[in-house]
Amino acid sequence: MTKMEFLNELRSYLHKLPVSDQEDILSDYETHFEHGLGKGKTESEVIQSLGKPKLIAKECLADYYIEEERPERPSSRRFRSTYMLIGLGLFNLIFLVGPFIACIAVVFSFYVTAIILCMIPLVALASFFIVEPIEGVFSLFVSFICLGIGLLMWTGLNRFLIVVYQWFIRYIKSNYKIIKGEAR
């Protein structure tokens, strides 16, 4: 291998680097050759002791990548956190919005049921005075049972709603943490 071949091979390995860096590196080796030849060494002796161009290029590129990684990190993180946000959003939209709406609907319908059950005594009372008193007594008793069930349902639903609300808040917080954790 001659000096020119050595330098050309080295250059070919360095094509990923900015041109100014390539020139810098190559000029170091050109000068090295000149020094070596000036000391009476032959080109092949200098090449022999320099080592393989590939090895040298590997060193140069390794340093370059270490250096490049630093500014690149924040943007790639930002990208990842955006990605997370979209991913989580889609996941929530597809898998959780449906059940969430269903849950709300069920709770709402139970509330409506409870309110109706509580209002039955009023209807029974009206029928007691307006329609037949004897049948009305029976329906009045039944309506009180309905009132009891309605009130129990109401308080039960309130407790259930508190628990659901807490789950909901916790889930939102965990989502937030995942996104923010990625963005840090």
Partner 1 sequence: MNVQFKKGVLTLCVLVLAVKRDRYGYELVDAISEKFLIAEGTIYPLLRRLTKEGYFTTYLVESQEGPPRKYYQLTDEGRNYAQGLVKEWKSFSASVNQLIEEGIEDDKDGILE
Q: Is 7 in the site for partner 1 (CB under 8 A)?
A: no
Provide, rounded to whole angstroms, the least separation between the CB of residue 8 and partner 1. 15
Which of residues 15, 19, 20, 38 is near partner 1 by CB under 8 A?
38
Taking the C-alpha atoms of residue 33 and residue 50, their distance in angstroms, rounded to an integer, is: 10
Q: For residues 31 and 158, which CB has a smaller minimum distance to partner 1 in the complex? A: 31
CB 35 within 8 A of CB 46: no
Take residue 30 and report the two structure tokens written for it: 């050109």
Provide, rounded to whole angstroms, the least separation between the CB of residue 74 and partner 1. 20
Q: Is 42 in the site for partner 1 (CB under 8 A)?
A: no
Residue type, 104: I
Q: Find the radius of gyration of the CA atoms of the chain.
A: 40
Q: Is 25 in the site for partner 1 (CB under 8 A)?
A: yes
Q: Could you say which residues in the range 52-111 bind partner 1, by CB under 8 A?
A: 52-53, 55-56, 59-60, 62-63, 67
Taking the C-alpha atoms of residue 158 and residue 168, their distance in angstroms, rounded to an integer, is: 15
CB neighbours (10 Å) of residue 53?
21
Q: For residues 30 and 135, which CB has a smaller minimum distance to partner 1 in the complex? A: 30
